[in-house]
Amino acid sequence: MPQLAAPPPIAWDGRELRLLDQTLLPAREEVLVLRDAAGVADAIRRLAVRGAPNIGVAAAYGLALAVTDDPESLESSWALLRRARPTAVNLARAVDRVRDAALAGGAAAARAEAEAIHAEEDAASDAIAAHGASLLAAVRRPLTICNTGALAAGGRGSALAVIAALPAVEQVLACETRPLLQGSRLTVYELRRLGLPHALVVDGAAPGLIRRGEIDAVVVGCDRVAANGDVANKVGTYPLALAAAAAGIPFVVAGPTSSIDAATPDGAAIPIEERDAEEVRRAGGALLTLPDTPVRNPAFDVTPAALITALVTERGVARPVDGESVAELLR
C-alpha cells in the first residue's frame, strides 16, 4: 500500500522530536523541532500533533526528552503532558508507561519505552488494516470522519488504514469535520497521496447520503473505548452511527487496544474535551458569527456500543461490541 509522503508525521532521533505541523496542512508542510516537554504539550494542545495514538507517542517522547535533560523534572513534566488533552486515553497511558520506565531505569529506559510505544502503534496499524479489510472486503463506498490515517495513528493509521486496504473502493466520502476541519485538511491530504478516489462532504450532508443508499459502511476511529464498548470519537461521529443504524449499514470503529480503557466503565464516564469558542466562531481566521456569540465546543461525542457493528483492533475484531467482547480483546 502506498505510504504518506515525507516528511513523516513524527520522527525521533534520540535527542529531538520532529512533528509535521498539522495546523498548517494541507497548505504548508512545515516541521516543528521540539526539545522539551513544554513544547510537546503545547503542540498537543494546539493539535499540531493529533489523533489518539499519535498524541500518546508524542507525549511519550516529550517525557523522555524531559528526563534526559533533567531527571528532576519527571513528575512536573509527566503532569504537564498528561493534562494536555483529556479524552484520548492513549496520552495518559503512554506518559504513565514512560514515567514508570524512568523511575525504574532512568532516562535511557524512558527513551526506550517511548520508542517501544511508537513501534507498537506502528505495528498495530498494519494489523488493524488487515483485520478491517477482511471484515469489510465488499465495501466500495465507505464514509469516514475526522482524520485517522498516518497523521493520527502511527504507521498507516486506523480507520483510514482499513479504508486504504479495501480491495475495491470506488469512492471514499470524507466528512469535513467542523470546527477544525481534520477531514477537509488532513484526510483529503492523505487520500490524495494514497491515490484513493474521494469526495468531501459537509458534516450535515452525511446522514442524508447514508439514508439515500450512497454509503456501504461508516468507518471511524476512536479516542477512548469504555469497558462496556461505548466509544468517544470526534464530534459528529454519533449522528453517523444513528444514520447507519437507521439505514441498516455497518458502523465500524477501528483503533488500537491502547485506546481501550477498562477503568472507564461506560461512555458517560469518558471526559469530553471542551475547546476554545474561537475555534467555532472563526475559520481560517475569518469571523463567521458575531464576535461575542456564546459557543459550545465539545471536541468529541460518545456513540453507545449498541450502535457499533464491530470494533476492529490489532488483536482482532469484537462483534457484537459489549463488555464481554471488549474484555476478551484485552485478555
Whether the CB-CB separation of 11 and 5 falls below 8 Å is answered with: no
Total residues binding ligand MRU (CB under 6 A): 20
3 state DSSP class of 296: coil
> What does the alpha-carbon distance between residue 231 and residue 312 come to, in Å, rounded to a whole number?
12
Whether the CB-CB separation of 67 and 40 falls below 8 Å is answered with: no
> What does the alpha-carbon distance between residue 125 and residue 127 come to, in Å, rounded to a whole number?
5
- Shortest Å distance, C-beta 182 to ligand MRU: 5
x-or-dash string of contact with ligand MRU, 219-248, rule CB under 6 A: --xxx---------xx--------------
> What does the alpha-carbon distance between residue 78 and residue 84 come to, in Å, rounded to a whole number?
10
Binding segment toward ligand MRU, per CB under 6 A, in 69-77, 94-102, 134-142, 216-224: 216-224
Residue 42 bears catalytic tag: no
Using CB under 6 A, pick the residue from 73, 158, 228, 309 that binds ligand MRU. Answer: 158
- Give whichever of 111 and 131 is closer to ligand MRU, judged by the CB atom: 131
- Which residue of the chain is nearest ligand MRU when measured via CB? 221
How many CA within 13 A on the CB side of residue 184? 14
Cell of 254: 477501528
- Shortest Å distance, C-beta 254 to ligand MRU: 8
**Binding to ligand MRU (CB under 6 A): which residues in 28-47?**
47
Cell of 319: 462483534
x-or-dash string of contact with ligand MRU, 46-85, rule CB under 6 A: -x--xxxx--------------------------------
x-or-dash string of contact with ligand MRU, 295-324, rule CB under 6 A: ----x-------------------------
Exposed, middle or buried: residue 33 (CB in 10 Å: 0-12, 13-18, 19+)?
Answer: exposed
What CA dihedral angle connects 98, 104, 107 and 111, to 10 degrees? -40
Exposed, middle or buried: residue 293 (CB in 10 Å: 0-12, 13-18, 19+)?
Answer: exposed
Which residue of the set 223, 230, 261, 301 is catalytic? 223
The residue assigned the cell 507498537 is 120
- Shortest Å distance, C-beta 300 to ligand MRU: 6
- Give whichever of 66 and 88 is closer to ligand MRU, judged by the CB atom: 88
Using CB under 6 A, pick the residue from 10, 63, 146, 173 that binds ligand MRU. Answer: 146
The single-letter DSSP state of residue 157 is B
Question: Which amino acids are annotated catalytic?
Answer: 223
- Interface contacts to ligand MRU, rule CB under 6 A: 47, 50-53, 88, 146, 148, 152-153, 157-158, 182, 221-223, 233-234, 255, 299
